[in-house]
Structure 1
Amino acid sequence: MTPLAGLIEGKRGLVVGIANEDSIASGCARAFSAGGGRLAVTYLNDKARPHVAPVAEAVGAEMLMPLDVRDDAQMDALFERIESEWGGLDFVLHSIAYCPLEDLHGSVSNCSREGFAEAMDISCHSFIRMARRSVPLMKDGGCLLTVSYYGAEKVVDHYNIMGPVKAALESTVRYLAAELGSRDIRVNALSPGPLQTRAASGIAFFDKLIDDARDRAPARRLVTIDDVGNMAVGLVSDAARNVTGNISYVDAGYHVIA
């Protein structure tokens, strides 16, 4: 029996950000399912659906819905269906980030106004929009989770403008935690070490980042999407009922090294 069995039995959760079976959100979805969670899963568009649908099937997702977070109508439709079919919601995982490549690969000082605005909207403000729609459904409390990275706290070579964007996301976590705590809604961020995902492949010299993380982390190893999923289950479970406003590192200890 998996150590996660029954930890979140019957809890209803929305998972946003699965691109394929190797996504951080996929590792989290598998862990949520192993813990007894009931899941709704989203996919970006028709092109992405064939890559997401097998993951959704494997975790027994009860809903599979399209969601481009820039489309308010799609987001409204998603939460309306959740309310109609489930009547409530216990947790949300927001695992999406985007920046136009020319701005991601360029210097911070040369980031375009449009690129910065798009990166902030998709990577950060979309979490606020999800929180706004989730709160009325979390009648008995709940947990909102997002995904950050160490580049929000310290300068990481080639992470560029996504550092300030993730810093804004982490600050949003803290402010939402303070705002929603009286409603028993907890807000936390996962901060994994570098992982070989499709999203990460857009970062320049990513292989060097991976090698550095493996060499410098106290545990001398890389983490996996399943490691991140295990932490996610713990955070949405009742065992973490007094954990909110945290940035939870899952990086084999890399963040403690100067």
Structure 2
Amino acid sequence: MNQKPSHEPSLDFLGLRDRTVLVMGVANKKSVAYQISRILSQAGARVIYSVRSESRKESLAKLLDGEKMIVCDVEDQSQIDALAEQIASEGIRIDGLVHSIAFADYPEGIRPFHETTRKQFLQAVDISAYSLISVCNALKDQFSADASIVTIGISTTRMASESYGFMAPIKAALESSLAFLTKSFSRFSEVRFNAVSAGLLKTSASAGIPGYVDSYLYAEKVIPRGRAVSTKEVANTAAFLLSPRSSGIAAQSIVVDAAMAINYFDSAVIQAVTAQDID
């Protein structure tokens, strides 16, 4: 009997089955990293988790029940080295890496950019951008020849969004490093480096940024479809970039913003603003 063709996409299409992916940055079930890991697992990949601290490991024990978790605070080089040593000692080959790590300290809330302190800026660069370089250097001998590395950026690093504080220049540094990592790794491998540059997302981390919620609601008005980008949409793109199906994509930032960038001058938004001015 002939069966009707299924309209459901086959996760086998991604070719992720039996590939091993290290996922860094899961905080809770709303995290982009967690959503990526779920898709990877559904596709048959083996997922290893790197978490920031023992307390984070304990808080994720129920969510990631039975999963392999390694503690690694990327602000501490010795812990990055220990992560690499453990993976090497267990004979694990890494086919993919998810770098979904970002941190910025706003002790007094969002302040004008020119008031950013040296300590704030350098700490954010270290954790959010340099950590990708350091981790990849430490793991270079454990990567398979065609491993795919994916980090999480933002949809634009050129817009001076006050609600994001000083993080846009940090993310710009992160995304700029993709080309240089791809080039330097090309001397001995075909390891690829890409970013998913996400629009505004509803995550626990973003909810803690002063003023972010208002920006998120504004984004929903500007996006042509009238609906914000979902974490799963970003995760789906990351899973594709991690897969062999994206083998021709390297040193790129793939924007996932549901076309927000083309619609800042939406007539309804303009009318709402000008109406307020008249009042």
Q: TM-score when scaled to structure 2?
A: 0.85
Which residue in the other structure is 2:204 paired with?
198
CA distance in 2, matches of 1:243, 1:35: 20
Secondary structure of the structure 1 residue equivalent to 2:49 = strand
Q: Go from structure 1 to structure 2 and tell me whether the alpha carbon gap of 1:6 and 1:239 turns closer, same or farther (over 3 Å shift).
A: closer
Q: 1:86 to 1:231 in 2, by over 3 A?
A: farther
Counterpart of 1:3 in structure 2 is 10
Over 3 Å counting, the alpha-carbon distance change for 1:148 and 1:218 in structure 2 is same
Distance of aligned partners of 1:104 and 1:120 in 2 relative to their CA distance in 1, 3 Å threshold: farther
| Counterpart pick for 1:31 among 36, 39, 55 | 39
Matched residue SS, 1:91: strand
Q: Which moved more, 1:9-18 or 1:96-105?
A: 96-105
Deviation for aligned residue 1:151? 4.4
User: 1:212 is matched with which residue?
Assistant: 218
**Alignment equivalent of 2:117, drawn from 112, 118, 123:** 112
Does the 8 Å contact 2:219/2:228 carry over to 1? Answer: yes
Question: Partners of 1:187 and 1:108 in 2: how far apart?
Answer: 29
Secondary structure (helix, strand or coil) at the match of 2:159 reads coil
Residue 182 of structure 2 corresponds to residue 177 of structure 1:
yes
Q: Residues 257 and 174 from structure 1, CA distance in 2 versus in 1: closer, same or farther, beyond 3 angstroms?
A: farther
**Coordinate RMSD, CA, aligned:** 1.9
Report how many residues are paired.
Answer: 255
Equivalent residue, structure 2, for 1:55: 63
| Corresponding residue SS for 2:210 | coil
CA distance in 1, matches of 2:262, 2:62: 37
Distance 1:73 1:107 in 2: 34
Aligned: 1:70 with 2:75 = yes
Whether contact under 8 Å (1:148, 1:192) holds in the other structure is: yes
Q: Contact conserved, 1:249 with 1:255, CA < 8 A, in 2?
A: no
Q: Percent identity between the aligned chains?
A: 28
- The ranges of structure 1 where at least 4 consecutive aligned residues each deviate by more than 4 angstroms after the TM superposition are none
Kept in 2, the 8 Å contact 1:32–1:229? The answer is no
* From 82, 85, 88, the counterpart of 2:90: 85
Q: Structure 1 78/227 Cα, relative in aligned 2: closer, same or farther at 3 Å?
A: same
Shift of 1:206: 1.4
Question: Following TM superposition, by how much is the alpha carbon of 1:69 offset from its aligned partner in structure 2, in angstroms?
Answer: 0.6
Q: 1:46 to 1:87 in 2, by over 3 A?
A: closer
3-state SS of paired residue (2:21): strand
Is this contact kept in 2: 1:27–1:229, CA < 8 A? Answer: yes
Flag structure 2 segments of 5+ consecutive residues without an equivalent: 1-7, 265-279
Cα distance in 2 between the residues matched to 1:235 and 1:136? 21
Partner of 2:30: 22
**Larger Rg belongs to:** 2
Residue 154 of structure 2 corresponds to residue 149 of structure 1? yes
Alpha carbons 2:103, 2:128 under 8 Å: kept: yes
1-side partners of 2:247 and 2:89: how far apart? 27
